[in-house]
Amino acid sequence: MRSYSPVPPRAAGQRLLVGVVVLYLGFVLLLPLSAIVAQAFQAGLGPLLRTFDDPAANHGLRLSFVLAGIAMFANGLLGVAGALVLTRHRFLGRRVLDALVDLPLAVSPVMIGLAFLLLFGRSGWLEPALDAAGWKVAFAFPGLVVATLFVTFPFTLREVAYVLEELGTDEEEAAATLGASPWQTFLRVTLPNIRFGLGYGVILTTARSLGEFGAVLVVGGAISGHTQTATTFIYNALEEREEASAYSIALVLALASVVVLAALEWLKRRRRKEL
């Protein structure tokens, strides 16, 4: 007869820990996404496809992807610039500025929207100057852009800053010693070295901007066909008991999140191969 030895306590503890983590992640992450997919297809393809004939739904999706594209571009540029300033320069107040970069991660998006209303809204601090220039920010597209840029600002900057700190300045100093200008050093030395960090940051920025709700709801007002994004469309559809439309748009956002996740994993594999 085959004899079985008892499982060592350490191995049993590791299996228990793995099991708990897998169950937790499955309950928190996979189960809700599965419920969205199942609910979206529950009524059949007809209601699902009819959602995309709704001008408000199409506008909300387009607006969300436009805001994500703007956030990717702006944070790609400003994130790299900010990371270089914080890691390659020493100046008075640098530590305070470094701490403020993480402010969007600590402040509620609803509070962010309210703060922008106090600045740009009716009777806001900057309303006289905006009226004189003929600009409208609150409850308009510029307000959505400002809110989205605020909530996504730390992601690219932090990812690039971590890479720059890890790399140090040896290669950049060597290039400068050989006669390279600051711009040549950036293009030929710094940028190639930070490309994976920049890629991570841009992907995280995209995911965060597509899922933003609180700030754009408050500062934009979720005006149908005007300032209503995909997330605020879902909220309004549920309020009006149009569940099929809400779940259909939620399914599109979930699929977009899967694509973003796949892109992030692809970058991670590419980086591991080069290390």
11 pLDDT more than 80: no
Structure confidence by residue, pLDDT tens digits, 149-206: 999 999 999 999 999 999 888 888 898 888 888 899 998 999 999 998 999 999 999 9
Query: Hey, where are the domains in the chain?
Result: 8-42, 54-274
Rounded to two decimals, the pTM is 0.86
What's the CATH superfamily of 54-274? MetI-like (1.10.3720.10)
d(C-alpha 27, C-alpha 40), whole Å: 19
d(C-alpha 201, C-alpha 195), whole Å: 10
Structure confidence by residue, pLDDT tens digits, 194-238: 998 999 999 999 999 999 999 999 999 999 889 999 999 999 998
pLDDT, residue 180, reads 87
